[in-house]
Every structure is written in C-alpha cells, then in structure tokens.
C-alpha cells in the first residue's frame, strides 16, 4: 500500500501542466482531421454535443475528448477537469459542460466568448426531456400517447417551481439548509404499477406531497424569508412555472421520463395491433427539438460563434 502523502502542486505547476496538455490536443488535430478539439465532462455527453455541432457545422469534424490526465496521472473526467483548461481555450480547443446552476447564478466567463459551451438547462439530459421531444418518442416507440407529456411536464414544473426558487434563495442565506442532494432525492420518484394512469397523476401526487412538506418546513424555519427577488431573477433568465423542469437536475428527470416511457411501451406491447419496434430510450435520444425553445437555440447560437459560422 502506498502511504506517501498526496503531492501538492503550485499554481505555476498546474498552469504549465494544463497549458501543455491543451497545446498537445491542438497539435493532434491534423492527425484526427478535425477542426477543433472539444473536452466534454464524460463519455455520456458525447451523443448530445455531436448532435449540436452537427447542426451548427454540418461540414466539419470535431475531436471529442471525454477524459484527460490529471496532474497525479489519473484519467479524469467531470466538469472540474474541463475547467482546468479554461485559460487555454481558443478556436481550436473548447470545453462543453452542463450548466448545473452556473447559468442561473450567472457565473462569469462561462460563455462562448471564452470558448465554453454550456447547456443552459441543468444538464444535457433535460434537452432530451423537452416535452415535444418526449411525445414524439412515445408515438414512435409506443404507437400512441398514453401520457401527454406536454401537460405532464407543465404540471410537474408548477409543483417543483417553488422549491427551485427556495434552493436558489437559500444558497445565499444558508447553503446547508437545502443542499442539492436533498433536492435530488426528492426528485427521484417511484414509477409504480399505476403510474401511467390519468396522465401520470400518481407520480405528480407523490411529488406534490414531498414538495408541500419541504416548502412548509422552509416557511416555518425562515418566516422572514423573501425569495421573490430570486423568482424575478429566474423569470428574467427564462425559468417560469411551466418550464422549470428544464432547470432541475436532469439525471432524475431523465430516469423518470425513461421509466414512464418504458412502462407505457410494455403496456402497449400487449395490444394485438402493436407495431413499433424501437425502444423508447432510443427514440428519446434519437433527435432533439432544434429551434423550438430558447435553451436549445442558445446552445446552437453559442456553438456557431466559436468559429464565426453564419
């Protein structure tokens, strides 16, 4: 067992290490026949960003880097690893990350002017869960709409919206009062035997009860709290009561939508006239609703800025 203490690196050593790595990525572009290298958070992000860049630049090829070496020599992924390269980006080397709450908190220098692409939604998964995209996937894989996801996700958003505002408010007041892990657990919902009935009413009721309990707790704990400023700010950034499902953690939302779609498909397969052959998830991730809502438009617009595409 290696009991040597973890080495400490100076800022200059870190700077030089990531500068050299960035230089190497750019030098290797000719080998890959690519216009630019794009460092992603993870391998799972690649499908989304390939789709985006294909729309922005249909005639160009990009090299996607899904992990790179840390200073300790480990192959490392994630947003923090991407941001290590922040000072060394240009037209030949970009990073593409999930926004998480960076967009809502207006974190500086996370923008196309600094060769950084972001999702604007919490993560790339939220884009696949855009209501019209989910309805399309349901029709293609299940044959009909057992759940109208436009209505379901609107109701979901109305329920969740107050807690999203509370979390943004409490980040600046008492961060440990409502950590993200608590919000994530709240959004992890059980898809039971009756989940697809009445347009997903059982799921929404489960969510409503959880939200009501926590919101009541916050109102009692912080009777003088006034989150209205954060609510106004959210609306200015495009987060409204009917679309906040795009700004909560995408992993939980995606799992919920995928599980509902899978259950609908299993129910439909019992019908004698069932014809659809593709799985719900393959249909869900097979396309994106480009041009149909602000967040996806902004992602593509940012991508086009990086090479000055018209």
Measured CA distances, 87 to 18, 114, 180, 200, 210 (Å) = 9, 9, 28, 47, 43
Per-residue confidence of the chain (310 residues) as pLDDT tens digits? 455 556 688 989 999 999 999 999 999 999 999 999 999 999 999 999 999 999 999 999 999 999 999 988 899 999 999 999 999 999 999 999 999 999 999 999 999 999 999 999 999 999 999 999 999 999 999 888 999 999 999 999 999 999 999 999 998 888 899 999 999 999 999 999 999 999 999 999 999 999 999 999 999 999 988 888 888 988 999 999 999 999 999 999 999 999 999 999 999 888 877 777 789 999 999 999 999 999 999 999 999 999 985 4
Is the whole model's pTM more than 0.85, yes or no? yes
Q: DSSP per residue over 2-24, as a string?
A: --PPPPP--HHHHHHHHHHHHHH
Of 186, 295, 299, the closest CA to residue 247 belongs to 295
What is the per-residue pLDDT for 2? 53
What is the per-residue pLDDT for 24? 97
Q: Which long-range contacts (CB under 8 A, 24 or more apart) does 112-115 make?
A: 112/301, 112/302, 112/303, 112/305, 112/306, 113/305, 114/86, 114/89, 115/89, 115/90, 115/91, 115/306
> Are 95 and 39 within 8 A, CB to CB?
yes
> Are 134 and 158 within 8 A, CB to CB?
no
Report the length, in residues, of the chain. Answer: 310
Report the interhelical angle of 149-173 vs 228-236 (nearest 10°): 130
- SS (HEC) of 142-154: HCCCCCCHHHHHH
What is the per-residue pLDDT for 310? 43
Reported as a single tens digit per residue, the pLDDT across 120-165 is 999 999 999 999 999 999 999 988 899 999 999 999 999 999 999 9
| Lookup: tokens for 269 | 């397969």
Handedness of CA 41, 43, 47, 53 (dihedral sign): positive
For residue 62, report the phi and psi dihedrals to the nearest 5 degrees: -125, 145
């Amino acid at each position: 067992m290696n009991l040597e203490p973890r080495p400490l690196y100076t800022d200059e050593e870190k700077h030089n290490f990531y500068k050299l790595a960035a230089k190497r990525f750019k030098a290797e572009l000719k080998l890959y026949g690519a216009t630019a290298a794009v460092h992603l958070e993870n391998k799972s992000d690649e499908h989304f960003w390939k789709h985006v860049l294909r729309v922005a630049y249909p005639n160009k090829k990009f090299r996607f880097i899904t992990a790179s070496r840390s200073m300790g020599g480990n192959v490392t992924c994630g947003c923090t690893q991407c941001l290590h390269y922040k000072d060394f980006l240009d037209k030949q080397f970009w990073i593409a990350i999930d926004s998480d709450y960076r967009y809502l908190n207006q974190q500086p220098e996370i923008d196309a002017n600094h060769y950084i692409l972001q999702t604007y939604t919490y993560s790339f998964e939220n884009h696949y869960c855009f209501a019209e995209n989910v309805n399309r996937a349901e029709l293609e894989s299940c044959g009909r709409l057992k759940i109208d996801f436009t209505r379901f996700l609107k109701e979901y958003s109305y329920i969740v919206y107050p807690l999203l505002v509370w979390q943004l408010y409490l980040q600046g007041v008492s961060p440990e009062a409502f950590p993200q892990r608590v919000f994530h657990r709240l959004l992890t919902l059980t898809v039971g035997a009756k989940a697809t009935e009445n347009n997903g009413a059982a799921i929404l009721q489960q969510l409503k009860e959880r939200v009501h309990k926590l919101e009541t707790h916050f109102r009692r704990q912080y009777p003088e709290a006034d989150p209205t400023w954060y609510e106004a700010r959210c609306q200015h950034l495009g987060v409204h009561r009917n679309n906040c499902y795009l700004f909560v953690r995408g992993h939980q939302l995606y799992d919920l939508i995928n599980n509902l779609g899978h259950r609908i498909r299993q129910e439909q397969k019992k019908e004698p006239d069932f014809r659809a052959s593709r799985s719900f998830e393959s249909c869900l991730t097979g396309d994106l609703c480009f041009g149909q809502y602000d967040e996806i438009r902004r992602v593509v617009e940012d991508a086009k800025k990086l090479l000055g595409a018209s």
